[in-house]
Amino acid sequence: MESSLVLFVVLISLAIIHIVQAQDQLGFISLDCGLPASEPSRYKETYTGLWFSSDREFIQSGKTGRIKKNQEKKLLKPYTTLRYFPDGIRNCYNLTVEKGRKYLIRAYFFYENYDGLNINPKFDLYLGPNPWTTIDLQKQVNGARPEILHIPTSNSLQICLVKNGTTTPLISTLELRPMGNDSYNTESGSLSLFFSKYINRSASFLRYPNDVYDRIWDAYFQTEWTQISTALEVNNSNNYDPPKDALKSAAKPTNASAPLTIKWKSINPNDNYYVYRHFSEIQELQANETREFIMLWNGEVMSPDPIIPPKLGMTTIFSKSPRTCDGGECSFQLTRTKRSTLPPLLNAFELYSVIQFPQSETDERDGMFYVVAIKDIEATYGLSIISWQGDPCVPLRLMWEGLNCSNTDISTPPRITTLNLSSSGLTGTIAAAIQNLSKLERLDLSNNSLTGEVPEFLGNMKSLSVINLSGNNINGSIPQALQKKGLELSLEGNPRLCVSDSCIKPHKKKVLVPIVASVASAAIVIAVLILFLVLRKKRSTIVEGLHQSPRTSTVNVTFADKKSKRFTYSDLIKMTNNFQSVLGKGGFGMVYHGTVNGSEQVAVKVLSRSSTQGYKEFKAEVDLLLRVHHTNLVSLVGYCYEGDHLALIYEFLPNGDLKQHLSGKGGRSIINWSTRLRIALEAALGLEYLHIGCIPPMVHRDIKTANILLDENFKAKLADFGLSRSFQVGDKSQDSTVIAGTRGYLDPEYNHSGRLNEKSDVYSFGIVLLEMITNQPVINRASENSHITQWVGFKVNRGDIVEIMDPNLCKDYDSNSAWRALELAMSCANPSSSKRPFMSQVINDLKECIVCENSRISKNRGLESEEMNISFDTSVVPMAR
């Protein structure tokens, strides 16, 4: 009986210990990445007492690996396995967290030649849609350990590994620790760990269970210091709660009159720092002894109030605002006051740099889409799309396949506006989860094997304007809610679907024949009447034409009642000094340099008498420029119409065209990346005005770098509107009898079908943007990939932005900005017009690129930042004991 009671007590005690340990690690997430399925999915690491779990439930991609047996002994168990990602560009862990709660987020990366290839990888680490740091195991050969303090903005946190070259990303462990929200507060941004040190001659480290938050403290000491220590208990209770063992030792200057100084170098001189210093008086002071000191940052006093460390207690001193280092040289000092009899001391200190994550995640209202809806869609349709990881909309270059989003600006959460699953092999009914996308504008489920009826909820989605369900096996009838104005509904190719009232209401068949007969009779009468009027009108036009030439008639109509200033032919001779200075030549004729009123410089376009096509272009340009005005369109100063002499006079743009500045021809300067982005934005604004600001809206049809002119401040203005055509708002496209444009820039869909819309300009703009990015010829017959889109596509697969960017830029650009611009350009140049963005979205994306380029966010915040003047122990990970 007694033995049974003892056993019961032991079991209860073990259970209590287990519960206490579990409570101590409440909220901890410790993932052993790549833990084999053959091993227990959860285990206790013996040295730290931390419970690690398999990462299998948190990521849907990747393969598992293990470092070499002879390397395992030097590492703790969680760091001996890894998950690597040979497939896809972005692979993401999805973690459930508490929104608004501060977390310590840490990851470990060890290569250790696990694959026998001896190729240390380099890749990017992202926090949601934002770059966190670059993991460069080619430099950090002993491993990398990035760590941040961050407050998630939603209950879902995504840690993503992103390829930036040809090497394969990998990860060893991923660890999250909830922190107290009353510590490590910043004015803005998150905190990236620079170092965390406790003062001790020992070579050991401290972490959990010594540190309740599992921060890792490395021991640190300088030769000019003297160590002091205590065996007594030190009270560590405050918001920062450093390990008690870290406070039991301290350093003081061996020279009692000297300051205690710590220096380091900042990789980025613009970095902002927060320093946390922990002080405890651990010496027994005599009645006549006083320890009092002040703190200095780069020689400046941080606070006039002196510090007196509490006896066997603790105080933590920090700044409420971040500090920078002059020229990247950083230091803080502790200096004794005049009344102090003892030198200063320091027990422990932490240094963090501020890291900004400016890109907003996709709007939480669409959060259900990729957390719930996508899972539902994937399960319903049996899909497995590797790009469907991480944030669906941002960053732009990593947007999910088949989606488009509203990326208004970097601080506004984007919304999903397009879902395209055309030709994806879908079966079953239309997934109800789609209705969670409240801002969806376009839905394309065409050319699949979907069955069932058209769901009622599609008609209740207020933003939905285009639905393509063609080429499926949908049956039933069309819901009343979908029979509304403004909705473009494609249903052809569904033989079992009833699309007319006769299918829905059979009793109306009796009156169908009389109605059809009546309508047919009326149609015949109307057609005969229209034919008669047309023939009469045509005859009248022919008679009028006998009395005047077609050219004169058309021009009279064009120039009638226009208020633009009219010049005579003699005025042209005078302003061009008898056509002395030629600026260029086109299908319309020559362009000359001139001046008006002796000062205003102009460009004079004179129509050649022998130019038939040139005249048509000239007429179109007159029609357009006499009625439109925009800061990014070349403005019309006036015109000449005198007999057979026709000319247009424009403002003069002294910096020529964009093409010259990309090539450097004619002594033109090579423009930098930020200027190129601004020029692209201004050209896009001009195009947007043509597409939506004109009445009727216009398509330029000849967008190319030679038609983007630059003023004295390199402000961009679109020119050469001779091929411009109007199109009807709401029409998908417009038939064009003659295909027009420049080879290489010409929209292949328009070239093939002859149907014109504003997306034709978007394609040409995409080619222009690719030119600005790469400085490659649009068509290069000497290359296997002759068209610029083919050349870029080939280079993109290699994943190195440097190989794609114009070498004249000398790598002087933010790579993330470059990637965003490249993704935008390729999106614009998509062969399918339906997959191209509208110019309004192009403008928003370019603004995002400019913000990114201007901010020049530093991505290298790994442990290699510990390039310091002092000999810190830079080991990445606790070694096995």
- Residue type at 654? P
- pLDDT per residue as tens digits for the range 57-94: 999 899 999 998 877 878 899 999 999 999 999 999 99
- CA gap 710, 270 in Å, rounded: 33
The amino acid sitting at 543 is: V
User: What are residue 566's DSSP bridge partners?
Assistant: 639
**CATH number for the domain formed by residue range(s) 658-855:** 1.10.510.10
Task: Give how far Cα 382 sits from Cα of 379, 399, 469, 509, 596, Å.
Answer: 5, 21, 19, 43, 70
Question: Given this model, what pLDDT does residue 873 score?
Answer: 37
Domain ranges of the chain: 23-181, 196-357, 364-507, 553-651, 658-855
Q: pLDDT tens, 791-810?
A: 998 888 777 899 999 998 88
Question: In whole angstroms, what is the distance from residue 64 CA to residue 656 CA?
Answer: 57
- Greater confidence (813 vs 380) lies with 813
Q: How would residue 416 be classed by pLDDT, with cut points 50, 70 and 90?
A: confident
- Pick from 817, 816, 806: nearest CA to 849: 817
Least confident of 460-469, 603-612, 710-719: 603-612
**What pLDDT was estimated at residue 16?**
37
Gap between the Cα atoms of 866 and 334, Å rounded: 21
**Contact assessment for residue 67 and residue 5, using Cβ atoms and an 8 Å cutoff:** no
Residue 509 has pLDDT above 50, yes or no: no
Q: Are 330 and 264 in contact (CB under 8 A)?
A: yes
Question: Which of 16-30, 437-451, 484-498, 721-735 is predicted with the least confidence, judged by mean pLDDT?
Answer: 721-735
Instruction: Locate 429 and state its tokens.
Output: 């009914």
Angstrom distance (rounded) from CA 272 to CA 268: 9
What is d(CA 577, CA 579) in angstroms, rounded to the nearest whole number?
6
- Lowest-confidence segment of 317-321, 567-571, 578-582, 628-632 by average pLDDT: 628-632
Q: Is the pLDDT of residue 579 over 50?
A: yes
According to the model, what pLDDT value does residue 294 have?
A: 96
The three-point CA angle 52-56-59 to 5° equals 115
- How confident is the model over 359-411, as pLDDT tens digits? 888 766 554 444 455 566 666 677 778 888 888 888 888 888 888 888 756 77
Helix pair 788-796, 758-774: axis angle to 10 deg: 60
Question: What secondary structure does DSSP assign to 804-863, as a single string?
Answer: HS-GGGTT-S-HHHHHHHHHHHHHHT-SSGGGSPPHHHHHHHHHHHHHHHHHT-----SG
Least confident of 191-195, 381-385, 527-531, 775-779: 527-531
Topology given in CATH for the domain delimited by 364-507 = 3.80.10
Residue 9 has pLDDT above 70, yes or no: no
What region, left, alpha or beta, does residue 655 occupy, with left being phi > 0 and alpha being psi -120 to 50 degrees? alpha
| Mean pLDDT score, 669-683 | 91
Kindly provide the b/e burial profile for residues 762-784, where b requires at least 16 CB atoms within 10 angstroms of the residue's own CB. bbbbbbbbbbbbbbbbbeeeeee
Q: What is the mean pLDDT of residues 865-874?
A: 36
Confidence of residue 176 (pLDDT cuts 50, 70, 90): very high
Tell me the mean pLDDT in the region 678-704. Answer: 88
HEC states along 109-140?
Answer: ECCCCCCCCCCCCEEEEEECCEEEEEEECCCC
Q: How confident is the model at residue 505 (pLDDT cuts 50, 70, 90)?
A: very low
pLDDT in tens, 276-326: 999 999 999 999 999 999 999 998 898 888 999 999 999 999 988 999 988
- What is the pLDDT confidence band of residue 827, given thresholds at 50, 70 and 90? very high
Return the bridge partners of 467, or none: 443, 489
Binding residues: 605
CA-nearest of 135, 176, 171, 182 to 157 is 176
For position 14, what pLDDT does the model report? 40
The CATH T-level fold of domain 23-181 is Jelly Rolls (2.60.120)
Residues comprising the binding site for ATP?
Answer: 605
pLDDT at res. 748 = 86
Write out pLDDT tens, residues 232-267. Answer: 999 998 999 999 999 999 999 999 999 999 998 887
Mean pLDDT of 866-872: 35
Position 292 scores a pLDDT of: 97
DSSP annotation of 158: E
**Rounded-to-integer distance, Cα 113 and Cα 68, Å:** 7
Rounded to an integer, the average pLDDT of 650-674 is 83
Segment holding 263, helix H or strand E: strand 260-265
Fold of 553-651: Phosphorylase Kinase; domain 1 (3.30.200)
pLDDT grade, residue 594 (50/70/90)? very high
Q: For residue 352, list its beta bridge partners.
A: 193, 274
Q: Do the domains spanning 23-181 and 196-357 agree at the CATH topology level?
A: yes
Under 8 Å between Cβ of 458 and 480:
no
**Catalytic residue annotation:** 702
Q: Tell me the per-residue pLDDT of 745-768, one tens digit each, with 9 for 90 and over.
A: 988 888 777 777 889 999 999 999
The total of other beta-carbon atoms located within 10 Å of residue 307's CB is 18
Q: Given CATH 2.60.120, say whether it is the number of domain 196-357.
A: yes
| Straight-line distance from the first to the last Cα atom of the chain, in angstroms, rounded to the nearest whole number | 42
515-523's contacts with Cβ under 8 Å and 24+ in sequence apart are none
Query: Residue 606's Cα: distance from chain center in Å?
Result: 46
Distance CA 823, CA 829 (A): 10
Strand partners, 665: none
| Contact criterion met (CB below 8 Å) for 448 and 425 | yes
Q: CA quadruple 746, 748, 750, 751: dihedral positive or negative?
A: positive
Q: Is the pLDDT of residue 5 over 90?
A: no
Contact 334, 275 (CB under 8 A): no
